[in-house]
Structure 1
Amino acid sequence: MKNLASFSLATALALAGCTSTKPTTVATTAAPAAPTETYPKGVGLDMTDLDRTVNPCDDFYQFSGGNWLRNNPVPSYASSWGPRNLLGNRTQDLLRKILEDAAANRAATPGSNLQKVGDFYAAAMDTAAIDRAGLAPLQPELDRVANIRSLANLRTELVHLQEIGASPFFRVGVDVDEKISSQYAVQLGQGGLTLPNREFYFKTDARTEKVKAAYRAYLTQMFGLLGAPPVVAQLDAATVERIETRLAKASRTPVELRDPQANYNKLTVAAAQQRYPALDLKGLLADMRLGQAREVIIGQPAFFDEVNAVLKTESLPDLKVYLRWHLLRSVAGALPTSYADAAFRYAQAQSGAKQQAPRWKRMQAATDNYLGEAFGQLYVDQAFPPAAKAKALEMVTNIKASMAEHIQTNTWMSAPTKAEALKKLNALRVKIGYPDVWRDYSALPISRDSYLKNLLAARLWESRREAAHLGQPIDRNEWTMTPPTINAYYNPALNEIVFPAGYLQPPFFDPQADDAINYGAIGGVMGHEMTHGFDDQGRQYDSQGNLRDWWNPADAAEFTKRAAVVGRQYDAFSPLDSVHVNGQLTMGENLADFAGLTVVYGALEKQLRQRYGTGPRPKYDGFTPEQRYFLSWAQLRRTNIRPEALRQQIATDPHSPGQYRTIGPLMNMPQFQAAFGCQEGNKMVRKPADRAVIW
């Protein structure tokens, strides 16, 4: 498990530099019509997606993709739908073929990645065998919980449940020590809840009550499926909710979890043993093969005070009910159909999806989750040629150079702080496509006998692989996303940005497209992840990944003041009645959007000057490169989303909804306004005094 000290290490920084280009299309009172001149057709934008009845200077989100939004409703099995889903479908089709070919290959060398991937997927897809087996594969685990006779037995079972991924009460693992980034540390953080976060246990609005009703029904049904009579199932459900509510009350909010300093609390094992005697941390660590640890990082000390109190004051039968529940819910998708269906109905209340995704899609995701790099090697061989990796690295290099210029020309940052910022930028590691060193799965046993047994074996293997890091040098070759993943991340403790091969595909990255399209698409993502190193969280880590204040106090105060403007802007966005974006929860991602778009725009301008000098720049589809840059960014943010899922996103997700990721940064960018000829008074133009400008 990663980053237990802060629980929010997808960090980011705001930059918003200002350069300007002459307006090329006037759009002050009406949207530009389709061009009457003949222009070459470009790659990467579909002109039929544009809604030309909308003025781009009033609502660029609708202008750039209004027709697409109307013509692409959310499928019944999904909660939202956008370009990432379309790429996901194409990727899944390829992955499905890889998996089905592997499953059909009964001659694969025993112990090879091909054998393990094929057997894992084959077992996961054999629903008839899963239904026939019933609870038999899980029975040894249920018996372990049933046989608990004392608090000492319970602590032993806690260790086992942590190692097989049930994670009752809290999460424990080994990760980079954020204040000594050259070594690993044992880290513990709050957990043990079924509802999405602590807020759901206490809010009483209609939407939350609907989710809580589904939660109670889920608990009751699952206990009933285990064989409990209806009255007992209801009592057991109430017991779980009561214990989880105690834990929720002591838990930190999503916004509080974004403070890395507050969530880093190092104690000696002896001190932790004294503070949390019922937990017996010393014994727990020894049983998890972490007995060599002399210190631990406690993410949320007050939460563990409550865990200690729960273990002391709750009856053993009630604690066993709670453990049984978290075991059961953690493997519901690998159990017979009735259990998986119950889990979906609970998820449905949160997402609004009308039906489950096809089983092959769910099991493809499970294979990627548990055998990600074994599976990923098979994917990379077919989907990511070396030339694509070289092109992506070239783009990152150009964006990094633009970032350095923005730091150097910053007007409010002092020279010493600039020097530290440049030092951090220069130390940034870039990972593209896939790991240089692939993970070794030779010690993980996988067969066709039982999907559940494979799942539990993979979890135990991963837990022990992670535990083995303690006391070892930092493994800088390790990835926390798999190669087919359509996403990217910044890791502050390692000061690295990582772009899996799955994201480096059209429409996000297309070697056939012009520079403006690629810089607006994957370039925007690259700038976003790079500037995460300088957002409200990321800026707290130095060039070596240590959680250390390297800012001049006056500079830090000025940064906070400027970032607060971004927070207020997003607090005002309301996609649904009475529902507002949380500017503090989404601060890091918003700042990375602001900064990334500005920095990458500078990189594109430099690229265009190198390519065309002072001469004319070609238009494709009637749009200038600058306009295509912003269109490319916007078209990849367009998203149709169900109201239930939108409310869930705003309550739990540090990313703002797609429409605000589009218009939020652009409203503050003179570069956008110049590109489309926007004037004061247009809705996409903030007055200079109201603009958020950080870099």
Structure 2
Amino acid sequence: MHLNRNLLFLALACSLAACKPASNETATAPATPAATAAAAPAMGVDLAGIDKNVKPGDDFDAYANGAWRNAAQIPDDRSSIGTGYEVQKKAEQRNADLIKGLAATNPAADTDARRIADYYAAYMDEAGIEARGLEPLKPELAKIDAIASKTDLARVLGSGLRADVDPLNATNYHTENLFGLFVAQGLQDPEHNIATLMQGGLAMPDREYYLSNDKEMVATRQKYLEYVTALLKLAAVEDADAKAKAVVALETRIAKAHASIVDTQDVHKANNPWEMSAFAKKAPGLDWTAYFTAAGLSSQKTIVAWQPAAITHLSALVGSEPLQAWKDYLTFHALNHSAGLLPKAYADLGFGFYGTTLQGTPKQKERWKRALDSTNNALGDAVGKLYAEKYFPASSKAQVEGMVKNILAAFGERVDTLEWMTPETKAKAKAKAETMRVGVGYPETWRDYAALEIRADDPLGNRLRAEAQEYKHQVAKLGAPVDRGEWWMTPQTVNAVNLPLQNAMNFPAAILEAPYFDPSADAAANYGSIGAVIGHEISHGFDDTGAEFDAQGRLANWWTPEDAKHFKAATAKLAAQYDAYEALPGLHINGEQTLGENIADVSGLTIAHEAYKKSLDGKEAPVIDGLTGDQRFFLAYAQSWRSKMRDAALRQRVLTDGHSPGRWRAQTVRNIDAWYDAYGAKPGEQLYLAPADRVKIW
């Protein structure tokens, strides 16, 4: 997917450590598609969620999901709910059963089971956390306090570099550290892993939160200043009011240096391998020798500067801003990053800003749910191995692999029918599709956590050591052969991803559940839901970013000039279509920012429908409860994107994410000819597009 290649099924994935997606259900929660599928497996769609007062041609999302949305209540500890929430809730409960059950077995020392049990127990030890106060963070605070020169500052900044960004697989451009590291095979060198440096340094989600004159943003900035001040005061930092203003002022200068999301998504602008000696010349201000030595990267010959102008400007700020301002900045960031595992007063402050102010969520998740999130972040493969063994049967794996095979075959047949594409480009597109590596359920090899120290009495230390261990794991890849089978999601993750550098896809076990996938459901529902997901990920190999990579995952132009011109014209029309959608008063979706995801939605839905028709073997689909096969197919698709979101969370999604909100992803159907045949949309209805105006790419 478009420099943002995870599907993002959860209605909102918060990028900040202090605010993670929550999953729970209240007593007033509405009937869900999962429940409907269980009651009537032959159907696979939620008839009760339909609002028949809405014409499908006016608003297909409101038609498919209007009754559900009217009845749905967002739980107090959620910023949004939707179909992904229901599937996530199932995965969460399974994780809870697994992790809580381990403690009862008293697992042996130095095993993954022991590490999981101790990590979770430490997180749940609220009394111990209160008793220790700031003690676990004092080594970090002392290191910051000891900074006496700009070289010392460079060392501290370098020692804090983490592998917490991912521009090509996970839509993750955010790090609180001044820079973030991404390690993967080179853009033009499939045989070697390369280190990539990306901009960072902001505690709010994006530069727009610091720079926009929108009244909502101005109000958010004031609340952010209040939060910074309160956190410093709670930690007994002297002159907290003045230091908080200095921190926010420095972050505002950092924000001005940042590249926009649209520029960050442009892989050609990102292809900037710098020799190590060039950093001092191209980005003066930061002592790069000290920085890279502390970061363990001094042996590298080159490092890619993903946002070169931003890296230059951020380095200049290190040189120009007073040392004390940087020390205050680092002190705040250390407190902010760790707030969730400090005493309750710190955790409550953090949630108040990141949960309530930024996402509109009134209540923090129960602690056991936060403990599950943190355990999964730290020991994802260890938990995932247990999850896959217990909850993902071989029969489901085989059935999904069969669907993938069918949809890839449909894609190849679709390419053959494209009138606008030359034979030369068709051959290369088909070769890329035919060589895509598909991972279903779980990886072939598992991460080794033997070097990670987990202690039952050190929750904050556990988390910080896990982050440092992940960094070491990623840096170690720089001297190792490229692993083309590497997974970038854990089995218990409700999501899916396309990996352009590996020409591969991952479909974790946890997403392969009803209503996305039900082994006993009608084929129309499965192809409209998980089939469209599979088609979406395949299509990411051919979106505005994926189309830039060849079958070996190399950044290479494999298009003829005529084909490239047609492709760009079609995608520009799609961007304009999404620019017209108004998410909140005065706030429109950015069609360019979300283009890759929108391309994958249109193309993925197209090939999923063709694969569904192919699966019928020339037979007519049965009519079930008055719905034809195509009607069920498109209804399942729209219901897979059903969501209800708080305004603050919606605003953050539109401003910072490469995915359009689910409501508008459901409207993708307006570009598919078969939808018009199925639902009879007519001229004059709001979604209607004349045949010539419907976007057709693949």
User: Which residue in 2 is equivalent to 1:391?
Assistant: 399
Instruction: State the AA in 1 paired with 2:138.
Output: Q
1:538 and 2:546 correspond? yes
Relative to the length of structure 1, the TM-score reads: 0.92
Q: SS at the partner of 1:631?
A: helix
- Residue 391 (structure 1) shift: 0.5
Paired with 2:251 and 2:680, the residues of 1 have a C-alpha distance of: 55
Instruction: State the AA in 2 paired with 1:225.
Output: L
Paired with 1:272 and 1:59, the residues of 2 have a C-alpha distance of: 52
Paired with 2:384 and 2:41, the residues of 1 have a C-alpha distance of: 35
Paired with 2:691 and 2:5, the residues of 1 have a C-alpha distance of: 33
List per-residue Cα deviations over 1:279-308 (Å, max 9, x = no partner).
Answer: 233343333332321111001121122122
Equivalent of 2:520, from 512, 524, 545?
512
- Residue 59 (structure 1) shift: 2.1
1:462 and 2:465 correspond? no
User: Which residue in 1 is equivalent to 2:664?
Assistant: 660
Distance of aligned partners of 1:8 and 1:61 in 2 relative to their CA distance in 1, 3 Å threshold? closer
Q: SS at the partner of 2:317?
A: helix
- Residue 343 (structure 1) shift: 0.9
Distance of aligned partners of 1:525 and 1:578 in 2 relative to their CA distance in 1, 3 Å threshold? same
Do 2:5 and 2:540's aligned partners in 1 also have CA atoms closer than 8 Å?
no
Paired with 2:351 and 2:41, the residues of 1 have a C-alpha distance of: 44
- Residue 276 (structure 1) shift: 3.0
User: Which residue in 2 is equivalent to 1:600?
Assistant: 608
User: Which residue in 2 is equivalent to 1:211?
Assistant: 220
- Residue 576 (structure 1) shift: 2.1
- Residue 419 (structure 1) shift: 1.5
Q: SS at the partner of 1:182?
A: strand
- 5 Å-filtered alignment, 1:279-678, equals 279-347=286-354, 348-608=356-616, 610=617, 613-614=618-619, 616-663=620-667, 665-678=668-681
User: Which residue in 2 is equivalent to 1:22?
Assistant: none
Paired with 1:681 and 1:461, the residues of 2 have a C-alpha distance of: 58
Q: SS at the partner of 2:242?
A: helix
User: Which residue in 1 is equivalent to 2:688?
Assistant: 685
Do 1:164 and 1:463's aligned partners in 2 also have CA atoms closer than 8 Å?
yes
Instruction: State the AA in 1 paired with 2:641.
Output: R
Do 2:99 and 2:120's aligned partners in 1 also have CA atoms closer than 8 Å?
yes
User: Which residue in 1 is equivalent to 2:22?
Assistant: none
User: Which residue in 1 is equivalent to 2:14?
Assistant: none
For structure 2, the residue ranges without an aligned partner over 5 or more in a row are: 9-39, 165-174
Paired with 1:77 and 1:11, the residues of 2 have a C-alpha distance of: 23
Distance of aligned partners of 1:41 and 1:476 in 2 relative to their CA distance in 1, 3 Å threshold? closer
Equivalent of 1:192, from 177, 189, 201?
201
Paired with 1:581 and 1:359, the residues of 2 have a C-alpha distance of: 34
- Residue 218 (structure 1) shift: 1.4
Do 1:267 and 1:298's aligned partners in 2 also have CA atoms closer than 8 Å?
yes
List per-residue Cα deviations over 1:11-55 (Å, max 9, x = no partner).
Answer: 99xxxxxxxxxxxxxxxxxxxxxxxxxxx9734222211112222
1:149 and 2:141 correspond? no
Q: SS at the partner of 2:556?
A: coil
Do 1:103 and 1:121's aligned partners in 2 also have CA atoms closer than 8 Å?
no
Paired with 2:67 and 2:42, the residues of 1 have a C-alpha distance of: 19
Name which of structure 1's ranges 158-167 and 91-100 shifts more when overlaid on structure 2. Answer: 158-167
Q: How many residues align?
A: 656
Do 1:218 and 1:342's aligned partners in 2 also have CA atoms closer than 8 Å?
yes
Name which of structure 1's ranges 72-81 and 590-599 shifts more when overlaid on structure 2. Answer: 72-81
List per-residue Cα deviations over 1:348-377 (Å, max 9, x = no partner).
Answer: 111111111111111111111110000111
Paired with 2:422 and 2:536, the residues of 1 have a C-alpha distance of: 24
- Residue 7 (structure 1) shift: 6.1
Do 1:179 and 1:548's aligned partners in 2 also have CA atoms closer than 8 Å?
yes
Paired with 1:134 and 1:258, the residues of 2 have a C-alpha distance of: 41
- Residue 583 (structure 1) shift: 0.6
- Residue 681 (structure 1) shift: 3.1
Paired with 1:329 and 1:7, the residues of 2 have a C-alpha distance of: 28
- 5 Å-filtered alignment, 1:247-262, equals 247-262=254-269
Which has the larger Rg? 1
Distance of aligned partners of 1:41 and 1:285 in 2 relative to their CA distance in 1, 3 Å threshold? closer
- Residue 163 (structure 1) shift: 4.5
Name which of structure 1's ranges 460-469 and 165-174 shifts more when overlaid on structure 2. Answer: 165-174
State the structure with bigger RCO (CA 8 A, min sep 6), 1 or 2: 1
Distance of aligned partners of 1:524 and 1:54 in 2 relative to their CA distance in 1, 3 Å threshold? same
Distance of aligned partners of 1:77 and 1:128 in 2 relative to their CA distance in 1, 3 Å threshold? same
Q: SS at the partner of 1:355?
A: coil
User: Which residue in 2 is equivalent to 1:73?
Assistant: 73
Do 2:59 and 2:686's aligned partners in 1 also have CA atoms closer than 8 Å?
yes
Distance of aligned partners of 1:68 and 1:163 in 2 relative to their CA distance in 1, 3 Å threshold? closer
- Residue 239 (structure 1) shift: 1.3
- Residue 83 (structure 1) shift: 1.1
Give me the CA root mean square deviation.
1.8
Do 2:158 and 2:290's aligned partners in 1 also have CA atoms closer than 8 Å?
no
Paired with 1:334 and 1:621, the residues of 2 have a C-alpha distance of: 52
Do 1:49 and 1:64's aligned partners in 2 also have CA atoms closer than 8 Å?
yes
Instruction: State the AA in 1 paired with 2:447.
Output: R
Do 2:41 and 2:521's aligned partners in 1 also have CA atoms closer than 8 Å?
no
Relative to the length of structure 2, the TM-score reads: 0.91
Instruction: State the AA in 1 paired with 2:83.
Output: P
Q: SS at the partner of 2:148?
A: coil
Instruction: State the AA in 1 paired with 2:643.
Output: T
Paired with 1:9 and 1:645, the residues of 2 have a C-alpha distance of: 21
Do 2:285 and 2:320's aligned partners in 1 also have CA atoms closer than 8 Å?
no
Do 2:286 and 2:316's aligned partners in 1 also have CA atoms closer than 8 Å?
no
- Residue 567 (structure 1) shift: 0.7
- Residue 606 (structure 1) shift: 0.5
Name which of structure 1's ranges 87-96 and 584-593 shifts more when overlaid on structure 2. Answer: 87-96
1:119 and 2:144 correspond? no
Distance of aligned partners of 1:88 and 1:47 in 2 relative to their CA distance in 1, 3 Å threshold? same
Paired with 2:540 and 2:323, the residues of 1 have a C-alpha distance of: 45
